[in-house]
Structure 1
Amino acid sequence: MRLTNKLYAQHIGWHFKKHWQVQGRRVPKETGAAAELLKMGLQVKSTDEVLNPKSGPQLIDIVGATIKPIPEDESHPNWHKAAGHIFGDNNVLLGGLPQSQVLTNTIEINSFPRQIEDAIANGQFPKTIDRCVQNAIFSSQLLDAQQVKLPKVKLVDRPAYNLPRLYGISHERRNRLLVNKLMFEIEKLAGRSVAVRRKLIDNVTFHTFLTKDNDTLIFNVTGDKLISSTRALDAIKGKFNGDLPDLYPMKSTVSMPKQHIYMENNFYPIRKEIACSHPHTIFTFFNKSVVGNVHGSEVSKTQFYGRSLLKAFVVAVARAKQLGDVPTNGVLQKPIVVQCIQTNGQEFHFGVLQLNTLNLSADSITKNYWFHRPSVELFTECCYQTGRPHIDGYNSEVFRTLNAFYHNS
């Protein structure tokens, strides 16, 4: 019913409203109370001053010495006279995979070890596994509820034009959800007998250092996910021959930033006393908006492959130094095998590194081995079509290879 004056007149609320209107026009009379309080030395404050006090900066007296930033000069405790070459998560080598081979004294084998090749060829999966993998892709790429501001998109032909910012699932969350869901499907197929011998750890850090041709190499990398095992991976059987690429006139440390402040320490995230401390597989995510060359160009395919090799190499070196059984000539008595998987959420690159020596000099007879094949796309496009999730170009080879890597022991 419409609220009219006659209807409102019958309600007691009308009387209250009129009462407040009349009382609001009254002018308060001076009673002399404020003057009496001032004579007694009491301060009189208005209601605004009490309810809304003015807050200003307050000076704090610090007792003792203050913490001052350490100057980045020769007085720094980690200052070294000879500059070290730094490799981290955000840079890649300019020469790509050939430079990574020379830097790590590693020869390339364009195939996986025999046991992995056989596992990929002979793997048997239920008929519903492809549908489960596609649901995992939908859940990570489209159906997650996270909405954050995505990185800016630039047009090559119009670099100064600002496109509208897009909101969606962040790159790091998409990759982590996809890997977690794929690993969940693999663990269901493997069963408890295999899964109990594996441990999954997120966001692990590795630090190590080496010397090559009188140059100090400092490696500080992060693994987005690490699979550790109760048993170290067996050394790959067979003898593999090959030559290192010729980089002349380029040096193997080109595009590696130099710094005088660094620490020559070794850090592996799991103590060797723990039963499940052996490195098995490391996952690393690739984000083109974060990882790039020192000159700002896009990362090429060979640089993408070289990043996978260096990630696996740093994990293996950190583990070898933690065990402490490195002879003076650098040749390991028992090689360390580490598997590496690099992905951007759509493209997967698989590789296996066997660390045989820490001697990186060019005249070293013993070489390290790097087994890998070209990267494979899990799907071509994942989007909405007519309001429903749709996927194009699904490739089951990625899941088969990932399953073979997980079962390898």
Structure 2
Amino acid sequence: MHYALGLAKPVYPKWERDYKDPRHYNSPPLQEMPLYKEQTCYVFNERSSVLEGVRQALWLTKARLTAGLPPQLLSLAQDPANQIPDQDERVQDVIRHARFWDTTERRPRKHKYCYTLLNNLLHLCGVVQSRHPALGKRMLAENYTLCATWERGEDLFQVRGRNAVLLNSMAPLPALAGKQEVQSTTDHVLETFYPISPAIDLQKIHAYKRENYTGFKDDYPYPHAHTLYFLETGEVIPRLHPPQLRAKMIMFAYGNALARADKLYGPQPQSILDHPITVQAVGTNGRQFEFVIFQLNTTDLRDDQGVKNQVWLDENNLLYDYAKVRPLIRKKKVKVPAGLSGYHPETFSKFLALYLHGAVEDCIIHD
């Protein structure tokens, strides 16, 4: 039974371990897995980079897009009663802390100053909690797992994986669109991008479980998703460009809303929800901010008819133009001075408006 030159190699019997070793695990064939199904499931995960960006996300979620944030929401931050004392100066100090002061190196890395900037902005927004006690009934969560399953046409889709930092609330967000506006979405025609498949760039799997879960137990005291905060630092491959980041924000906001609707209304698709579910999302790369509000009006996405969901998108909001440790000099002229330059206060006003949404009674919409 040993190898000899010119002879065939001997065939040895396969050795089977009598103990379980996770380092030498051989998975069974796909067809023999317990969760194997013939129907293909298309999965949108946290690093999915869809080709058509927002257009593709709108088709997958059966949603109508509205450019800009609702005016009644923006009025929250414009009200002097909701503003922070010395607001602009304190926001600029937050930016300087993230970009210049929070490091012992020459300059902080992008993933570090993005995370520091977001945490400090949220901490600054919490200053108004004394005027609005409802802000104290919230909780931040990280590294939770989401799964939402739905049918779109003849295909099955899922949004799952670990997504952004989530701000949970004891009370749900009020709907931004009244019943009449929700009914008016029936006439909206969804945009198509034929011949490109709506499932392009999505992961295809056959071993899956059809389920919906928010990542939290049923007795969790903060069951309602309020705002998702996405950080895109460009250090994780593949890098998501702004159109793909906006699509990710829409998809995960929809996934959180759909998983919550499954708890409230059951797994059967509902043509129209009695109480729409609203989820917000904020995305940033440390300088530019994207704002998304998703209102789930229906869970019946099998065809393009009937009531549509709604998306408000406000994109390309710069919080500041430059934050240079050293001045940028070209041809012996200072093009960009050192320090913070080009601060845009309206971007933080929108950030604050989304944070205050649900805690101020004046923003509730009535027909």
Same fold (TM over 0.5): yes
- Is 2:174 the counterpart of 1:234? yes
Could you tell me the percent identity over the aligned residues? 22
Q: For residue 368 of structure 1, report the CA deviation from its aligned partner.
A: 0.2
Structure 2 residue aligned with 1:338: 279
Change over 3 Å in CA distance of 1:203–1:85 after alignment to 2: same
Q: For residue 317 of structure 1, report the CA deviation from its aligned partner.
A: 1.0
- Aligned with residue 271 of structure 1, among 214, 217, 224: 217
Change over 3 Å in CA distance of 1:328–1:396 after alignment to 2: closer
Q: Distance in 2 between matches of 1:210 and 1:261?
A: 16
Structure 1 residue aligned with 2:98: 140
Look at both structures and tell me which one has the larger radius of gyration over its CA atoms: 1
- Aligned with residue 90 of structure 1, among 23, 43, 47: 47
SS in 2 for 1:362: coil
Structure 2 residue aligned with 1:8: none
Q: Distance in 1 between matches of 2:54 and 2:202?
A: 14
- Is 2:126 the counterpart of 1:187? yes
User: 1:140-172: CA deviations, max 9, x gaps?
Assistant: 22222376xxxxxxxxxxxxxxxxxxx853433
Structure 2 residue aligned with 1:155: none
- Aligned with residue 163 of structure 2, among 223, 226, 239: 223
SS in 2 for 1:333: coil
Q: For residue 369 of structure 1, report the CA deviation from its aligned partner.
A: 0.3
Structure 2 residue aligned with 1:12: none
User: 1:356-386: CA deviations, max 9, x gaps?
Assistant: 1122233330100001222201112112147
Q: What one-letter code is carried by the residue in structure 2 that aligns with 1:98?
A: R
TM-score for both structures, normalised by structure 1? 0.72
SS in 2 for 1:179: helix
Q: What one-letter code is carried by the residue in structure 1 that aligns with 2:87?
A: I
Map 1:3-402 → 2, pairs under 5 A: 64-67=19-22, 68-71=25-28, 73-123=30-80, 125=83, 128-145=86-103, 169-191=108-130, 193-238=133-178, 239=181, 240-241=184-185, 242-290=188-236, 292=238, 299-385=240-326, 390-402=339-351
- The range that moved more, 388-397 or 92-101, is 388-397
Q: For residue 330 of structure 1, report the CA deviation from its aligned partner.
A: 4.7
Structure 1: state its 5+ residue gaps: 1-61, 148-166, 293-297
SS in 2 for 1:94: coil
Change over 3 Å in CA distance of 1:328–1:350 after alignment to 2: closer
Q: Distance in 2 between matches of 1:286 and 1:65?
A: 40
Q: Distance in 2 between matches of 1:116 and 1:235?
A: 11
Structure 2: state its 5+ residue gaps: 1-16, 328-336, 359-367
User: 1:195-218: CA deviations, max 9, x gaps?
Assistant: 312212223321121111221112
Change over 3 Å in CA distance of 1:280–1:65 after alignment to 2: closer
Change over 3 Å in CA distance of 1:78–1:334 after alignment to 2: same
Q: What one-letter code is carried by the residue in structure 1 that aligns with 2:219?
A: E
Q: What one-letter code is carried by the residue in structure 1 that aligns with 2:94?
A: A
Q: For residue 133 of structure 1, report the CA deviation from its aligned partner.
A: 1.2
Q: Distance in 2 between matches of 1:333 and 1:211?
A: 21
SS in 2 for 1:85: strand
Kindly indicate whether the alpha-carbon contact (under 8 Å) linking 2:47 and 2:240 is maintained by their aligned counterparts in 1: no
Q: For residue 254 of structure 1, report the CA deviation from its aligned partner.
A: 1.6
User: 1:314-338: CA deviations, max 9, x gaps?
Assistant: 1111111233445444532321100
Q: What one-letter code is carried by the residue in structure 2 that aligns with 1:355?
A: L
Structure 2 residue aligned with 1:159: none
Q: What one-letter code is carried by the residue in structure 1 that aligns with 2:340?
A: I
Change over 3 Å in CA distance of 1:123–1:215 after alignment to 2: farther
- The range that moved more, 184-193 or 99-108, is 184-193
Kindly indicate whether the alpha-carbon contact (under 8 Å) linking 1:174 and 1:345 is maintained by their aligned counterparts in 2: yes
Q: Distance in 1 between matches of 2:341 and 2:99?
A: 13
Aligned residues: 323
SS in 2 for 1:273: coil
SS in 2 for 1:70: coil
Q: Distance in 2 between matches of 1:171 and 1:179?
A: 12
Q: Distance in 1 between matches of 2:49 and 2:298?
A: 23
Q: What one-letter code is carried by the residue in structure 1 that aligns with 2:86?
A: T
Q: What one-letter code is carried by the residue in structure 2 that aligns with 1:232?
A: P
Q: For residue 301 of structure 1, report the CA deviation from its aligned partner.
A: 3.9
User: 1:208-244: CA deviations, max 9, x gaps?
Assistant: 2111122111211333311111111112233053331
Q: What one-letter code is carried by the residue in structure 2 that aligns with 1:290?
A: V
Q: Distance in 1 between matches of 2:299 and 2:226?
A: 19
Q: What one-letter code is carried by the residue in structure 2 that aligns with 1:202?
A: E
- The range that moved more, 94-103 or 187-196, is 187-196
Change over 3 Å in CA distance of 1:229–1:74 after alignment to 2: same
Q: For residue 123 of structure 1, report the CA deviation from its aligned partner.
A: 4.5
Query: Which of the pair has the greater relative contact order for Cα pairs under 8 Å at 6+ separation?
Result: 2
Q: Distance in 2 between matches of 1:93 and 1:237?
A: 28
Structure 2 residue aligned with 1:59: none
Kindly indicate whether the alpha-carbon contact (under 8 Å) linking 1:142 and 1:389 is maintained by their aligned counterparts in 2: no
